[in-house]
A and B are shown apart, each in its own frame.
Chain A
Amino acid sequence: MRIHPRHTQRLAVGVLGAATLLTLAVLAFIIVFVLKKGLPTVTWAFLSGMPQDMGRAGGILPTIVASAILPLLALVVAVPLGIGTAVYLAEYTRESRFTRTVRFGTDCLAGVPSIIFGLFGFIFFVILLGMGWSLLAGGLTLGIMVLPTVIRTAEEAIRAVPTAYREVSCSMGATPWQTVWHVVLPNALPGILTGVMLSVARCLEETAVIYFTAGTALRLPASLFDSARPMSVHFYLLAREGLSNENAYGTAAVLILAVLAVNLTAYWSMHAFLRRRARKSC
C-alpha cells in the first residue's frame, strides 16, 4: 500500500523535528547540568585560591594561570605560521600542485587526533629537545595542533577582501607586500581573529595533548620550563581519581564558561566582519 505523500511529509517532519529537538536537548542538558552543579562552588576564593590536598580543597588559581599561558604559547607558533601560509596561498600563488599539497596536508593535520599530537609532543619536545614536561613543550605542541584552524580561517578571511582594494593599492604604486600589509591584512583582521579565538577555545578544552607534554604539576609555574596543570587536566584528574566531585564540577563550570566566552567572541568577531563586508560592498 502506498502512503499518501501528504502523510509521508508529515511523518518526515515529525521524525526529523524530534531528532533535532533531541540533539539540542542533550547538548543543552550537558551545559545546564554542569553549570547548575558547578556554579555554587565558584566563588572568588575558589578562583583566586591555591589548591590544597591535591585539589580536594582550596581553589584553582594555578590551573587558571596554566590555562591562560598554554593557548598564548600556541598562538605564538600558530599565528605567524598560519597567517603566513594563508597569505601565500591567497595572494602569492595560483592553484597548483603545490597549493593542493599544502591544502591536503593542512586538512590531514586537522584530522590528527589529540592523542597522536600528545605522543609526538612527548617524544619530540619533552624527550628529544630536552624541554621536559613543561608549559613550553605543551604550548608548542598545541601550536602545531591549531595551525590548520588558523590557516583555513585566515585564508577565507583574506580571500573575502574585495579584489578592488588590491587593484587600487597596486594602481597607486604599492608593491605586492605593501598591499598585503597595509590593505589586505587590516581588512581581513576580524576574520583572522575568529580563527585565533577558535584556536584558543580548542587549546582550553584540550586534555590529552597537555597531559603528555606539560605534565600535571599543581603549582604556580615560575617559568615556561615548569610543568603545569591547566583546568582541563585538573578537572580530569579530580574526576577520574574521585578526589572531589564538588571541585571537579566547579572547575568544569569555569572551563565551560571560559570556552563559551572565547567561542562567542569568535562569532561576534565574524559577524562584525561579515556586516562590515556587506556594508562596504553596497
Chain B
Amino acid sequence: MRRRLDDVIARPLLAAIAFSAIASLLLIAAFILKEGLPFMLRVGLPHFLGTSDWNPQEGRFGIFPMIVASLWVTLGAMLIGAPLGVAGAVFLCEFVPPPVMRAIKPTVELLAGIPSVVYGFLGVMVLAPLIRTHLGGPGLSLLAAAVILGIMVLPTVISISVDAINAVPASYREGALALGATRWQAVHMVVLKAARSGIVASIILAMGRAVGETMAVIMVAGNTPRVPHSALDPVCTLTAKIAMEMASATGLHRQSLFAIGVVLFAVIMGLNAIALTVIRRRTRSAP
C-alpha cells in the first residue's frame, strides 16, 4: 500500500512545491512594496523622484541625483561591457577552433565567480589611482564604477551571446560561404542577424546586473549624492544609497530606503521582462 500512497501524494505535493519560486517572488515584491509604497504616497512621487536634496533628518528625500548616477553608471558599463563581450563571443564562436572555444567558455564562466567585492577592491587599489593620476579628479568616480561594472558584466554578455550564436544553424553559414562570402561577411551579414535577439537579451540582462550591483559600486563610485557634471565626478547610485544607510536607518528614513528599493525593483523587473520576451520570441520563431 505504501507505494500507492507515495504516488497519490507526489503529484499534489510537487505541484505545490512548483509554486515556491513564484511565491518567493510575490512575497519579495509584497514586502518591498509594503514598506516602500506608503512612503512614496506620503512624500509624493514628484518630490521623491524629481528633487535633488537628500537629507532624511530634515524630511527631504530627493533621489534624482541617485537616479542619474545609476543611469550613467549603467550606460557607461554597457558601453564597455557590451562591445567587448559581444566581440569576444563572436570571436570565440566563429574564428577559433572548437576545442579552444570549449576550453575558454568555461574559463570565462569560472571568472564570473570572482566575488563582486573583489572587483570593487581592485577598483579602489588599481583603477582609481590610475584615473586620479592620468585623468584627474578624485579617482573614485562615475568612470571607475562604469569600468568596473563593465568588466563585471563581461561573463554574462559572453556566455549568453555565445549560446545565441551557437544556436544559429550551421546551414546559414554554409549557405553564405557557398555564395562566396568571406568568413567575416557570413558572420556579420547572416549569423549576427540570426542571433540578434539573443545578443540583445544578453545585453539587457547585463544591464539589470549593472543597475542592481551594490558592493562593488559602493567601493569605487565615491558616494557623493550630487548630480555628476563629468565622468570624473564621484557619484552615489540607488543601490549604494540603500546599502550605506540601511544599518543606521529607522522609521521614515528606513521606509525611504525601501522606496528606493521599489524603484530599483520596478526598473530591473522591467528590463528582465523585456529580455525574457526577446528570448522567447526567438525560441518560438526558431525552425
Contacts and interface: CB of A to CB of B under 8 A. Distances in A.
Contacts of B218: 240
B170 interface: no
A102 B257 CA distance: 30
Contacts, number: 256
A281 interface: no
Contact of B268 (A16, A31, A113): A113
Contact of B18 (A23, A84, A211, A236): A84
Binding site secondary structure of chain A: helix
Instruction: Count chain A CB atoms within 10 A of each CB in B4, B18, B211 and give the residue with the most.
Output: B18
A115 interface: yes
Contact of A8 (B111, B155, B182, B257): B182
Contact of B113 (A80, A92, A259): A259
B3 A119 contact: no
A27 B183 contact: no
B174 to A, nearest CB: 17
Interface in B200-243: 205, 208-209, 211-215, 218-219, 239, 242-243
A148 interface: yes
Given A147-B21, A263-B113, A108 B269 contact: yes
Given A16-B95, A87-B14, A205-B114, A267 B215 contact: no
Nearest to B261: A119
Nearest to A26: B151
B22 interface: yes
B11 A92 contact: yes
Interface in A205-247: 205-208, 211-212, 232, 235-236, 239-240, 245
A12 B184 contact: yes
Given A16-B87, A89-B18, A264-B110, A117 B28 contact: yes
Interface of B: 3-4, 6-7, 10-11, 13-15, 17-22, 24-25, 27-28, 31-32, 35, 83-85, 87-88, 90-92, 95, 104, 106-111, 113-122, 124-126, 151, 154-155, 158, 181-185, 187-188, 205, 208-209, 211-215, 218-219, 239, 242-243, 246, 257-258, 261, 264-265, 268-269, 271-273, 275-276
Interface of A: 5-6, 8-9, 12-13, 15-17, 19-20, 22-24, 26-27, 30-31, 33-34, 80-81, 84-85, 87-89, 92-93, 98, 101-102, 104-109, 111-120, 122-124, 128, 144, 147-148, 151, 175-178, 180-181, 201, 204-208, 211-212, 232, 235-236, 239-240, 245, 248, 252, 255-256, 259-260, 262-264, 267
23 contacts: A15-B87, A16-B90, A20-B88, A22-B84, A24-B104, A27-B154, A31-B114, A33-B126, A84-B17, A105-B25, A109-B21, A111-B205, A111-B268, A111-B269, A112-B28, A113-B214, A115-B261, A175-B6, A177-B7, A181-B6, A252-B117, A263-B109, A267-B106
